Amino acid sequence: MPAPLSAVTAALQMGPGPGPQVEPVANPLLNLAGSAVGAFLTTLVVGAILVAVAPDYTERKMAALLEAPVGSFLYGFAAAVFLLLVIVVLVFTIIGILVAIPLALVLYVIWAVGAAIAFLAVGERLVGRDDGWAKPLVVGAAINGALTLTGIGGLLTFAIGAAGFGAVLRDYLG
């Protein structure tokens, strides 16, 4: 019996079989560019859905955000930290994973909505909205993508997203 077991062990220790070996992609610039494209597209798509489906809601949230940007940021940052801690605690309880995963998905969608509203507000402040939503939407999405592309601009992107997140959550949590 020891012979077959040692043959299996030896086969497992030899490494991958014949054929071309695929190297993992570890190019940080490629990862950064992918994140920037993702940020741009997320803002563009979510913002387009918002202005098409709920333009009044979008305008109200943009006005609330522009009226109190610091308060919205503080509210959004505190809520994000608290809810992240809740998710971590739920994951550690093992049974709470069933609640943590849907909660994380819902929070991601709310964050995407808030960030899109915030970048839409920035785009509207820069180019106006006289000829429709398209121009401020593209400008806001481009700013989000460009800030993400710079790497360090991710901190500013996070702050803008937190402000939008706070503006969206204020009606529901407080």
pLDDT tens, 26-58?
677 777 788 889 999 999 999 999 999 999 999
Q: What confidence tens digit (pLDDT) does each residue in 63-118 have?
A: 999 999 999 999 999 999 999 999 999 999 988 999 999 999 999 999 999 999 99
The pTM assigned to this predicted structure is: 0.80
Question: What ranges make up the beta strands (E) of 40-110?
Answer: none
The amino acid occupying position 146 is A
Q: What local confidence, expressed as pLDDT, does residue 19 receive?
A: 58
Identify how many contiguous H helices and E strands the chain contains and give both numbers. Answer: 7, 0
